[in-house]
Amino acid sequence: MMTTTYKFILVALVACSVILSACNSKPKTQQSAEKSGEEWIQLFNGKDINDWQVKFKGEVLGENYKNTFRVEDGLLRVSYENWEEWNGKFGHLFYKDEFSHYRLRVEYRFIGEQAKNGPGWAFRNNGLMIHGQSAESMELDQDFPSSIEVQLLGGVTGQGERSTMNLCTPGTNVILNGELWEQHCTDSKSKTQFDDEWVSVEVEVHGGEVIRHFVNGEEVLSYEKPQLDPRDQYFEKLLPADGNEIISGGTISIQAESHGTDFRKIELLILEE
């Protein structure tokens, strides 16, 4: 026959067991997120672009030319359905804040046909512009912000190989394999991402030191010391008062270069300096 004290202890043990079981029943992804303590900032909220600034060549800041940047069906979309043809108006959508040390994770795909008369190199072409100048500092007729471009490219089945997460350097240079690299665009070692498939990419940025590109979790390119290019027409304007050419932070933007693009995730994790 159980004593009152023994019954109390038994009930308490059963209760603890139920609580622990409930805690362990959480989805593994949730448990992993809680354990890691990672707090990703959702740059795209799935609803609107109120936290972003639009700048098109030849247009004042804030003018969303032909409603090119829009949100539809929970996707941030670069759309050319309102364009009769390409007219040279390159566009960029800038996030409101600037960052220095971070991981930027994006999921994208190319959709539809390129705008009529769009440049050949811009076919299935977009970019993540990082360490960029501010939207406010761009000239009215400036094509691209001075930045490090993480170039997004897509291929078409049967039309050969074409890497993505390449490096382009509008107004900038980097150190690649220990040497000053002045070539404008450099291919990564990624596989071709064909047709309209979704692609998951990531950029790991350590201020003015190392930048790494990843496609589906695989590192495909890395370089160091992003810096302003003295050959660029905007060099003097953007050079800080201390004369330091190294770029340790800046804006993040996506492009509109004549081909439709969808983004369903744009998120960022701050890293320790």
| Annotated domain spans of the chain | 54-270
pTM: 0.86
Q: Are 172 and 134 within 8 A, CB to CB?
A: no
Mean pLDDT of 27-45: 64
HSE-CB of 41 using CA atoms within 13 angstroms: 14
Measured CA distances, 115 to 88, 170, 218, 258, 264 (Å): 11, 23, 32, 5, 22
Burial of 181 from C-beta contacts in 10 A (0-12 / 13-18 / 19+): middle
d(CA 229, CA 235): 6
How does pLDDT run across 189-239, given as a tens digit for each residue?
999 998 889 999 999 999 999 999 999 999 999 999 999 999 999 999 999
What does the pLDDT read at residue 13? 42
What does the pLDDT read at residue 37? 67
Choose which CATH entry (3.90.1150.60, 3.40.640.10, 2.60.120.470, 2.60.120.560) describes domain 54-270. Answer: 2.60.120.560
How does pLDDT run across 141-190, given as a tens digit for each residue?
999 999 999 999 999 888 889 999 999 999 999 999 999 999 999 999 99
Higher pLDDT, 127 or 37: 127
